[in-house]
Chains A and B, each alone.
Chain A
Amino acid sequence: MNLARARGVVIEGIEAHLIEVEAHLSHGNPVMNIVGLADTAINEAGDRVRAAVLNSGARWPDGRITVGLSPAWLHKRGSGLDLAIAAAVLAADGQLPPPAVAEPVMFAELGLDGRTRPVAGAVVAAVAAVGAGREHIVVAGANQAEASLIPGLRVTGVARLADLIEGLTGRLPPGAQPLPEPDPPAPAGSRPELAIVDCEALDLSDVHGQPEAVHAMEVAASGGHHILLQGRPGTGKTMLAERLPTILPDLGDEDALTVTAIASVVGGLPGGLIRRPPFQAPHHTATLAALVGGGAGGQARPGQITLAHAGVLFLDEAPEFASSALEALRQPLESGRVCISRSGFTTELPARFQMVLAANPCPCGNAVGNARDCRCSSMDRRRYQRRLSGPLLDRVDIQLTVHTPRLDRWSAQQATTSASARARVVAARERATRRSLAAGLGSPLNARIPGRALRGELAPDSQAADLLAQAVRRGGLSARAADRTIRVAWTITDLEGRDRPGLSQVGAALALRGLGGQGEAT
């Protein structure tokens, strides 16, 4: 027998594909060829695997070795196939029993000394293994906990190639070296990491003297409304934004799995299933590709908006972002997904996030009140404000002006804690979910109530409806602004535990509209 096969996994976007790895030994010069659209990392695997096999005490077969990766049309990338290649070669040489090698899915990189190294995306690999009906996956020891998050799969973690050989044959290879020192924890490196806000460290009660802003955050969290925070530097815009995730409810099962998978792919090895919404705050110099996702070498790389999936994307100094980057947010805001197309591939990644924009009133940030300290020209101010106008702001339901907190209010106000706010948010979302199910709407979030429903079964009561209709006819409110107002009014209604928005809730929603109609068309 000089042909054997093993199964490996390659990651693409946040999905994984099972790969069949075949090894064939034949007479000839001692070379190793890897065929099947492999990238550099895989083509280098030959040398890595050979060293690892030798240093594990096993024998490297003489002669010509051909390794075939199928399906052959798929671009394969990354070092996760090392273990499967090694196993296939050893099985073809008769050192490992071929049936036992063909059974599990293998996913690990090999060091030259024969130890295994963790690879990003173990969760995704495990999901793919389950999806393909496999029952067993072998990963690097450091990936074991991660892969074990997926139910219905037996996970074996191996610290070195020799352990795999022992597991399959019952004995260590004769020349096996003692277990090398464990790897130091992998440095975070340059990969974007998925950030989860530590609820212990941040609490809404840290915000003093801003009761309106805190309430607005609560409304935003309940309805999933995008929010714009405007105010001069130092008023606490960033502080408020960072605390939004602390009042969001835990992720549902599906979202939790997706977020964990994303974290796994970008290399932020999660300790367990991620249950808290992520919080991503890209700097305003972030490029288009960093923000929405990019790719090179036939492989998509999730951007900040994908990392913020099911969580919060915070764009501080939003008008300073490249306008192309802001424009690129429109499609994901609409569909909850982002489509990345490059010459070699097209991938769709999840990107359903809640957006928090923060902006100064002008480039220097002092155009407040009489704007005595502002050094910007009127043209500068205009240009700054205009950068956020249009289709992007159209999707922002809440536009809040954050004022400088007054010292005298600090002690007087009873601070809202994140825990109490979150309890109210959860209760409000439950009401919204029940209603959305009853009405057959797509999403449980009020921010996504379709316009038609707002004019049908989810209309506010007749007094409020009259008021809004009149305002639209008189030109005080654009039709789209009226729709946004009703969506926010529903969220306020849910928070108050009422049945249908009336004048009072619509009024409160209008007050959250910000800009005071200045930005609205007449």
Chain B
Amino acid sequence: MSTEMTDVGDTEQSGQGRAATAGRAADPPRVELTAAQPPLSPSAQGSVAPRPWAVAPQATDAERDALLLLALAVEPGTSGVEAELGEFGAAETLQRLAAGVSPLARSRQPESASSGAGITASRGHRAADLRAACPPGVRIVLRGDPEYPTQLDDLEEPPLALWVRGPLDLRMAAMRSVAVVGARAASGYGLRVAHEMGLDLASREWTVVSGAAFGIDAAAHRGALGAPGPTMAVLACGVDIAYPRAHETLIAAIADEGAVISELPPGSAPLRFRFLARNRIIAALTRGSVVVEAAMRSGAVATANRASELARPLMAVPGPVDVVTSAGTNRLIQDGSATLVRDAGDVIEVILDRDGQPQDDTLPDEAEQVAAALGRRARSCQSIAARCQMDPALAVSMLGLLELRGRATRSASGWVSTSTAAVGAPP
């Protein structure tokens, strides 16, 4: 930790040259488009499955290829992509871009422009080549894929594609995730709290999402890795680049056990404006954001504001009133935009509380019958089945469902109702 503390002056701006010239990433992917894309109906794009265990309506291969090429060609977060996609679909948007008639033509990625590849319709790599050129261990999750986290659709300009390093399943991990963000120039107090919080959240299988930066970010990741539990780093550069360089081993450890993700193709440099775009992903991906320490004006507070805009619960850890690094968080609490939290327990409570949605009653009638037969006294499932005059196997299955809903629980000697009003039938 102490080495980072001495290195706090290192901002994105001063660090970018180093990382970009680090030579780890080979050439940026050359973005050249093939003209042979058949036009497709716009509706195929952006169809997103509402459930994690449901068959997602897959976009056609051509649409997916076009989406990938678009993700390579257009700087993430560019406004207008969504409108174009909605109107024309991915394949046609791509053709319009190549022909220069799209308003997006002005916002090509710096790498593709500077490498001279440009966007030409004549020469071209196909999407398949680009996939094959993906560094080993990196997978591409496109918008509409089963693994794509649907929370990101809340953004005005959701990422078209995510490059992922690591075993974590993005959609599943994002369903129970918390962003832990804060100052790079953190105090010992902030680092301690962030580490503890990362550890506690991860050991309860909440995914700790952060940006792998110095200070709070790194402390939260390290805490989660120590749990060991899920953690995810969202980078503002390609996933094959370790930025900041000093965190190369940390990022590798996250990629081993969790996931390192980016909406930028491998080889992209950590340019200053990309950090803001990255922050919006951290805010949207998670169920809530915690600011552990932040000065008055800082990137962490910016992330916090994005989270608020997206109607995600915003939380902050208070600090001493006379310390610069807690001025931002104290202010967030004071003006009521953030909830005061002390530890992981508080964080989970706030998220579940805010997120409380009414449970629609999908349980079958038999479940109600079984629920009625439960009481305060533990009963075996045979006796429950006998009371309901039901097949024991069916009764067991209904008990499993009731338990999931928190209406039944089992003790060492049988099943019990959790309802306080439960009277059940007399034994």
CA distance in complex: A159, B88 (Å)? 84
User: Is B425 an interface position by the 8 A CB rule?
Assistant: no
Chain A residues whose C-beta falls within 8 Å of the C-beta of B171 in the assembled complex: 455
Q: A211-B392, A504-B394, A504-B397 are in contact. Are A451 and B169 (CB under 8 A)?
A: yes
Q: Which of A256-264, A272-280, A287-295, A474-482 contacts B (4 or more CB under 8 A)?
A: A474-482
A218 → chain B, closest Cβ, in Å? 11
Closest CB in chain A relative to B224 CB, distance in Å: 13
Residues 431-482 (chain A) with a chain B CB within 8 angstroms: 451-452, 454-457, 459-460, 462-480, 482
**Residue among B146, B352, B367, B412 with the most chain A CB within 10 A?**
B412
In the complex, whether A503 has a CB less than 8 A from a CB of chain B is: yes
Q: Which residues of B contact A507 (CB under 8 A)?
A: 367, 396-401, 404
Q: Report yes or no: B401 in contact with A506, Cβ–Cβ below 8 A.
A: yes
Please report which residues of chain A, range 102-123, place their CB below 8 angstroms from some CB of chain B when the two chains form the complex. Answer: none
Cβ B54 vs Cβ A452 within 8 A:
no
Q: Which residues of B contact A454 (CB under 8 A)?
A: 53
Which residues B171-222 have CB closer than 8 A to chain A?
A: 171-173, 175-176, 203-205
- CB pair A467 B413 closer than 8 Å: no
A55 at the A/B interface (Cβ < 8 Å)?
no
Complex-state Cα separation, A476 to B403, whole angstroms: 9
Q: Contact: B401 with A369, CB < 8 Å?
A: no
A466 lies within 8 A of B204 (CB): no
Contacts of B83 in A (CB 8 A): none
A510 touches B400 (CB 8 A): yes
- C-alpha gap A179/B304 in the complex (Å): 92
Give the size category of B's interface with A.
35 or more
Return chain A residues, CB-CB under 8 Å to B406: 476
- Are A508 and B397 CB-contacts (below 8 A) given A368-B413, A468-B53? yes
Within 8 A of B (CB), among A352-367: 361, 367
Interfacial chain A residues near B362, Cβ < 8 Å: 463, 466-467, 503
> Known interface pairs A478-B205, A503-B364, A521-B205. Does A465 touch B52 (Cβ–Cβ under 8 Å)?
yes
State the CA gap A433–B204 with chains docked (Å).
35
- Contact check, B51 vs A469: say whether CB atoms are below 8 A apart: yes
Would B400 and A511 count as touching, CB distance under 8 A?
A: yes
| A486 at interface by CB-CB < 8 Å | yes
- Assess the B172–A506 pair: CB atoms within 8 A: no
Cβ contact within 8 Å between A510 and B404: yes
Q: Inside 8 A of B396's CB, which chain A residues have their CB?
A: 212, 507-508, 511
Q: Does A401 contact B (CB under 8 A)?
A: yes
Q: Does B252 contact A (CB under 8 A)?
A: no
A475 touches B176 (CB 8 A): yes
In the assembled complex, A516 has its CB within 8 A of some CB on chain B: yes
**Using Cβ atoms and an 8 Å threshold, which residues of chain B touch A464?**
53
> Is A511 within 8 A of B397, CB to CB?
yes
- Closest chain B residue to A486, Cβ basis: B53
Nearest A residue to B399 via CB reads: A511
Given A369-B412, A455-B172, does the pair A472, B397 have CB atoms closer than 8 Å?
no
- Across the interface, name the chain A residue whose C-beta is closest to B230: A479
* Contact call B404/A505, Cβ cutoff below 8 A: no
Q: How far is the CA of A477 from the CA of B363 in the complex (A)?
A: 17
Cα(A511)–Cα(B384), bound, Å: 14
Residues of B within 8 A of A457 (CB): 55
> Cβ of B203: which chain A residues have Cβ within 8 Å of it?
521
B173 nearest in chain A by CB position:
A479
Instruction: Give the chain A neighbours of B204 by CB distance below 8 A.
Output: 521-522
A471 and B404 in contact (CB under 8 A), knowing A504-B397, A507-B398? yes
21 A-B residue pairings within 8 Å (CB atoms) = A215-B393, A361-B412, A369-B411, A403-B413, A409-B382, A455-B147, A456-B56, A456-B146, A459-B55, A463-B362, A465-B51, A465-B54, A466-B360, A466-B362, A503-B364, A506-B400, A508-B400, A509-B400, A510-B401, A511-B403, A516-B409
The 7 closest A-B pairs by CB, nearest first: A510-B400, A511-B400, A507-B397, A508-B397, A465-B53, A507-B400, A507-B401
18 additional A-B pairs beyond A369-B413, A479-B169, A479-B176, beta carbons within 8 Å, are A403-B380, A454-B53, A455-B169, A456-B55, A465-B54, A466-B51, A466-B360, A467-B404, A468-B53, A470-B359, A473-B176, A473-B357, A482-B53, A503-B362, A509-B400, A511-B381, A516-B410, A521-B204
| Interfacial residues, chain A to chain B (CB-CB below 8 A) | 211-212, 215, 361, 367-369, 401, 403, 409, 451-452, 454-457, 459-460, 462-480, 482-483, 486, 503-513, 516-517, 521-522
